[in-house]
Structure 1
Amino acid sequence: MTERPAQRVPNRQLAALIAEAGFSNAGLARRVDQLGLEHGLDLRYDKTSVTRWLRGQQPRGTTPALIAEVFTRRLGRRLSAQDLGLDACAPVYAGLEFAATPEEAVDIASGLWRKDSGSHAELRKIAFTPAGLVVPSRDWLIGRADERVGRGAEPSAARVPLQGRASVPRQRQIDRGPGQRVTGGDIAALRSVSELFRTLDQAYGGGHARQALVRYLEHEAEPMLRGTYGETTGRRLFSAAADLTRLAGWTSYDIAAHGLAQRYFVQALRLAQAAADRPYGSYVLVTMSRQAVYLGHGREAVQLARVAQQGVGSGPPPVVQALLHSAEARGHAVLGEVRASTASLVRAERALGAARPGDDVPHWARFYDEAQLADEFGHCHRDLQQYRASAQHAERSLQLRAPGYARSRLFCRVVLATARLGLGELDQACALGAEAAQQAMEMRSVRAVEYVRDFERRLEPYRDASAVRTYRDRVAALS
C-alpha cells in the first residue's frame, strides 16, 4: 500500500505578513517579479502563484529570498525566508554584503574564494545586480577604518644574543597553518604574486590564469588572514588581500562572469577598508564603475566614480585624480551626456598634466599615463559618436601604449576601427577590425571577443560591400 504524500499546511506566517503589508496576491507577485528583474531573473509569478504559497507550496530557487526582500522593503525591518514560513535558500545578495567587522569580512571573502575554486559552475552564472552596488558604496563612503585588525601582538624587537652564544634562527613551517605568524616576507610574496597575475591578465586575458589566482587566495591568503599579526602588519596584509581579490574580480569580469566579479569587487572594497587604505578603496569603486559602463549602466557608473572622488577628496596624487575623473567621463559618455563627459575629461587631463616624476604614485595607479588618458578620450568620443576625435585619440593611444598591454591595445584598435567606420572609411575600418579579431583569437578574454562582435554588428549595414566580405573571409579563416 503506497503512502499518501504529506498534506501541505497553510502558510499562516505569510498570510499575516501579506495582511500587515497591505498587499493583494497580485500585488505581491508583481513586486517579486520586479525585484527578480533587478537580479536578471524573468520570473513571471501571478496571483495564482501566491495562492499556492499560502496553501503551503514552497517556491524554488532564490524566490524565498526575493519574497523576504519585498517584505523587508515594505515593512522597514529585516525579514528572512524563515520569517515568512518559507524554506531557507542562498540569499540573493550573498557575497554583496559589506561586513560589519574584519573577521566577518575574512569569512565572506574566503567563502567566496573556496566556492569559486571548486566545481561551482553556477557561481559564474550569477547575474550582475545594479541594486547591489548601493549599500557597499554607501557604507564605504560613510564608514571608517576598523579600529583593530591585528590578531596577536606585534613581534618584539629582536634580542641581541648573549656574548659567545650562537643564535640559531628557528625554521619556519613550510605548510602554513591557522595561527601562524605573518611576516613582511609573506606580504611581499602576496604583492609579487599579484603583479605576476596582473601581467598575465593584461597580456593573455582574464581566463588564462584566473583559477590559479583563486586557488592562491584560498590556500595562501586565507591562512595568512587567519594567522597571527599585529596592527601594522595586519593593515598591510588586508591591503595585499584586497588587491588580489580585486584582481580575481577583474579576471572574472573579463570572462563575463559579471555577478561573480561584482561580489569580488565588493569584498575587495571591504578588505581595503580594513586596511585603512582609502585610495585603494576608490580604485575598487572605479573598477566597479568600469564594469557598470561595460554593461550599459551609465548612471550607476557615474555614481560609483563620484563616490570614489568624494571618499578621497583632493588628497591623492594627480595620477589618481585623473583616473577617478576619467571613470566618471566614461559613465557620462555611455549616457550620451556630452557636456558632463567633456568636463570630466578636461579635469582628468589637467590632473595628469599636474603629475611630476617624483610623485608618490600607488603601484596600482602606475598604468595610468598619457596612453591610458588617450584611450579614455577615444572611448568617450566613440560613445558620443564624435568619430574624428575618437580616431585621433585612439591612434595616439596605440602609438604610446606598451606592447605588454595587449588586451588594452586590442580594445583601442577596435575603437579606432569603429571611428573609421563612422567616418565612412570602410576599408581602413575592416583592416583594423581584422587585426583585432586575430588578436582576440589568441586571448582568453570574453571582453575581447565582445569588442570584435560589437564592431561586426556595426558592419551589418555594409554587409554587401567588398571590404566587409573580405573581412568576413579573413575572420572565418582564423577559426
Structure 2
Amino acid sequence: MTAASPLGELLAVFGLRADQLARRLNDMSEALGRPERVHTKTPYKWLRGEVPRSPWRSLTALLLEQELGRPISVADLGWPPDDLECAPATTGLQTAWTTAGTLRAIRAVADAGYMDRRSFLLMLGASLTSPAHEWLVAHPTTSLAQAVGTAVPAQIVDDLDAITARLRHMDDQLGGGPLLRLIHEHLRYVTTLLTQGRYDDTTGKRLHATAAELLRLAGFTAFDSGQHGLAQRYWVAGLHAAHTAGDRALGANIIGFMSCQAKDLDGGREAVLLAQTARTGYPGGSGRVTAILELRAAEAHANDQTATTTRRATDIRRAIDTAFDALQDPRPSSDDPGWSYWMTDTHAHGQAGYCYLRSGDHQRARHHLRQAVKTDTDSREGALRQILLATTYIQQPQPELEPALSYAHRALGTLSGQVDSARCRSHLSRFSEHLAPYRRNTNVRTFLDQVKAAKEPSTRQHT
C-alpha cells in the first residue's frame, strides 16, 4: 500500500489496508441506516488519486477521526466536501431531568422531522449507559400543570392513546420501516399540546406518558429499519418523558429496548448493564413488565462474551425462569400497562429460544421456538422465530437441511410479501451465511438465489 496520498499516510498509521477500510466503511454506513455499500477494491482507486463519491468522503474522514482520536476533515484528505452531515446521537438531548429539560429534549427530536438529513452517530460504551443511570437516580418532578394555552380535555388524551395503540399493532404486522413517518407526525401533535396546551397535573402526566410511548415506538421502528443512531435519539428523549410522567415501568421498558439494540450491535456488556438498570429502576407490580425486563436481561446475558460459559448459562436460565413465573402471576391483569400486551407465553418462548440458540443449547432453543411458531406465523416476530428455528437445525453438530429450509422458506415468504424489517433481513442474511457450505445442494442454491432476489433494490454497491 502506498503512502503517497493523505489517505495512504493515515491508513499506514494504524495499519489498515484499503479493502479493510471498505469493510469498516460498510459497517459504518449500515450503522447509520444508510443504503450505500462500497466494493472492497474501490478504496485502492482512492489511494491512486480518484475522488470518492458522496457519502464516502465524509464517512472516511469520520472513521479515521474515530480511529486516530483527533479531528480529520474531508479537506485533510485532499477531497472536496460532500453533502453528508453527521452529528452525535445525543445532540440537543443533554439536558436536565426536569419538566423544562424534558420539553427541550422532546422538541429537539420532534421538531427535527422524521427524515432529518443528519446521520446520527451511535452512542457506545459509557455514553450509551449514562442516560439510563441518570434516569435511575433523577429526582421526581413536581406539578406538571400549565395555566395558559388552549385547554386539553382528558378525552383528547384518551383518543391520542387509542391512536398510539393502533400504531403499535400496525408495527407488529408491517414492520417498522413504513410507519416511522406516521408515528413521528403523531408525536409532533402531542408535542404541540405539551408546549402550547393548558392542562392540570393529571393530564400533564398523561401527555408526557403518551409522548414517552410514542418516542419508544418511534425508536423501535427506527431500530427495526436499521437507523440505529436515530433510534437512540428517540429513546433518550423518551426516557426523559417517562421520568417526567413518573412512569417507572415505561422508563424501564425504554431502557430494555436500548439493551436489545446494544446486544444486536455486539455491545454485550453494555446490554447487560442496561438490562440491570431497567430491572433496578422498576419497583414491580406487573407480571408482564417483569417478564419483559427479565427476558431482555436473558438476551443480554446470552450475548455477553465477557462472562464465563457457566455464568452465562446460569444467568440466562435464571432470568428465563423468572420471566415465565412472572407471566403466571395471579395478580390482576389491570396492573399491566396497555403497551405490555405483546408479552405473552408465545413471545416469551420466542425470546427464550433465541437466548438458548445464542448460548449453543440447540435442544432447548428448538423446544421454545417450536412453541413460539404454533401461532402468529405471518407477523414480523413470527418470521423472526422461523429464522431462528431454522438456524437451530443448521448450527447443530449434525445439520439437517430439510427442516432448516422449510422454516426459512416460510420466513422469506413473510418478509417478501408483507413485513418490512431490516432486523429480520439481517437474521436471514446470517442464516444464509450458515448455508453457504452446502451450496452444492440444489435446494440450498435455490433458496439462496431467492434470498438474493428478495433483497431491497436500494441496497447497492458503489464502485
Q: Normalising by structure 1, what TM-score?
A: 0.73
Corresponding residue for residue 228 of structure 1: 198
1:347 positional shift: 1.6
* Residue 48 to residue 375, structure 1, CA distance change in 2 (3 Å): closer
Distance 1:51 1:467, change over 3 A: closer
**Cα distance, 1:216 vs. partner?**
2.1
Shift of 1:49: 7.1
Cα gap change, 1:45/1:296 in structure 2, threshold over 3 Å: closer, same or farther? closer
Q: Distance in 2 between matches of 1:203 and 1:357?
A: 28
Paired residue type of 1:332: H
Which of 411, 426, 439 aligns to 1:463? It is 439
State whether structure 2 residue 177 is matched by structure 1 residue 201: no
CA offset digits 1:328-384 (Å, max 9, x no partner): 110010125222111211221222222456452111112111111101111001101
Give me the whole-angstrom Cα distance separating, in 2, the residues matched to 1:228 and 1:377: 46
Q: Tell me which of 132, 135, 146 is aligned to 2:130.
A: 135
CA distance in 2 between counterparts of 1:48 and 1:331 reads: 29
Q: Specify the SS of the correspondent of 2:222.
A: helix
Cα contact 1:190–1:241 (8 A) shared by 2:
no
- After TM superposition, the structure 1 = structure 2 runs for residues 44-55 of structure 1, keeping only pairs within 5 Å, are 44=65
Which letter maps to 1:114?
Answer: D
Output aligned runs, 1:408-423, within 5 Å.
Answer: 408-423=381-396
Partner of residue 293, structure 1? 263
The alignment partner of 1:42 has SS state of helix
| Matching residue's letter, 1:112 | V
| Number of the residue aligned with 1:345 | 320
- Sort the Cα spacing of 1:434 and 1:258 in 2 relative to 1 into closer, same or farther, 3 A: same
Secondary structure of 2:300 counterpart: helix
Residues 147-183 of structure 1 show CA distances to partners (whole Å, capped at 9, x for unaligned) of: 1221128xxxxxxxxxxxxxxxxxxxxxxxxx21111
Q: Deviations over 1:190-240 (max 9, x none)?
A: 10111111111110110122112112222x111110111111111111111
Residue 261 (structure 1) shift: 0.3
Letter paired with 2:118? E
Note if contact 2:218-2:231 (Cα within 8 Å) is conserved in structure 1.
Answer: yes
1:244 counterpart = 2:200: no
Distance apart, 1:299 and its partner CA:
1.1
Deviation readout 1:228-283 (Å, 9 max, x if unpaired): 11111111111111111111111111111100101111111110011011111111
The one-letter code matched in structure 2 to 1:466 is T
Paired letter, 2:98: T
- Give the residue type in structure 2 aligned to 1:352: L
Unaligned runs of 5+ in 1: 1-28, 31-36, 53-59, 62-88, 154-178
Any idea what the Cα deviations from partners look like across 1:78-115, whole Å, max 9, x if unmatched? xxxxxxxxxxx966631442533212211221221221
Contact 1:98-1:270 within 8 A present in 2 as well: no
For 1:387 and 1:48, locate their aligned partners in 2 and report how far apart those are by CA, in whole Å: 42
Deviation at 1:120, TM superposition (A): 2.6
CA-to-partner distance for each residue in 1:260-316, whole Å, 9 max, x for gaps?
101111111110011011111111111111111221211111111111111123x32
CA contact (8 A) 1:96 1:136 kept: no
Change in CA separation of 1:478 and 1:135 when aligned onto 2, cut-off 3 Å: closer
- In structure 2, the partner of 1:370 is 345
Amino acid at match of 2:343: Y
**Given the alignment of the two structures, is residue 187 of structure 1 paired with residue 182 of structure 2, yes or no?**
no
Q: Which residue of 2 aligns with 1:407?
A: 380
1:318 aligns with 2:315: no
Identify the range of structure 1 (230-239 vs 91-100) with the bigger mean alpha-carbon deviation.
91-100
Q: Residue 380 of structure 1 aligns with which residue?
A: 355
Post-superposition CA distance 1:2-60 (Å, at most 9, x none): xxxxxxxxxxxxxxxxxxxxxxxxxxx99xxxxxx9999422489997899xxxxxxx9
CA contact (8 A) 1:109 1:267 kept: yes
Aligned to 2:232: 262
| 8 Å Cα contact 1:375-1:394 kept in structure 2 | yes
Q: Is the 8 A contact 2:212 2:241 kept in 1?
A: yes
Structure 2 residue aligned with 1:215: 185
**Deviation at 1:436?**
1.1
Amino acid at match of 2:102: A
Q: Could you say which residue in structure 1 is the equivalent of 2:144?
A: 149
Q: Give the counterpart letter for 1:42 in structure 2.
A: L
1:118-148 per-position Cα deviation (integer Å, ceiling 9, x unaligned): x53334x533434332221111111132112
Q: Is residue 97–residue 266 contact of structure 1 (8 Å, CA) maintained in 2? A: no
Cα gap change, 1:146 to 1:46, in 2 (>3 Å): closer
Aligned to 2:118: 122
Larger CA deviation: 243-252 vs 181-190 = 181-190
Q: Distance in 2 between matches of 1:289 and 1:48?
A: 27
Q: Structure 1: how far apart are the matches of 2:299 and 2:66?
A: 37
Residue 470 of structure 1: CA displacement? 3.0
2:364 to 386, 389, 397: 389
The two structures, once aligned, show a CA RMSD in angstroms of 3.0
Partner of 1:435: 410
Partners of 1:444 and 1:311 lie apart in 2 by 33
CA distance in 1, matches of 2:147, 2:416: 50
Determine which structure has more spread, i.e. the larger CA radius of gyration. Answer: 1
Give the secondary-structure state (helix, strand or coil) at the position aligned to 1:116. coil
Give the 3 Å change call, closer, same or farther, for CA 149–359 of structure 1 in structure 2: closer
Aligned-residue offset at 1:478: 5.2
Q: 1:340 to 1:244 in 2, by over 3 A?
A: same
Give the unaligned 5+ runs of structure 2: 1-12, 15-27, 33-58, 74-80, 306-311, 456-463
Identity %: 28
- Are positions 1:453 and 2:448 aligned together? no
User: Is the aligned partner of 1:425 residue 2:422?
Assistant: no
- Seen in structure 2, the aligned counterparts of structure 1 residues 200 and 130 have a Cα distance that, compared at 3 Å, is farther
Contact 1:96/1:132 (<8 A) preserved: no
Whose relative contact order is higher, 1 or 2, with alpha carbons under 8 Å and at least 6 apart?
2
> Does the CA contact (< 8 Å) of 1:190 and 1:240 recur in 2?
yes
What does residue range 12-161 of structure 1 map to in structure 2 within 5 Å?
41-44=62-65, 93-117=90-114, 119-123=115-119, 125-152=120-147
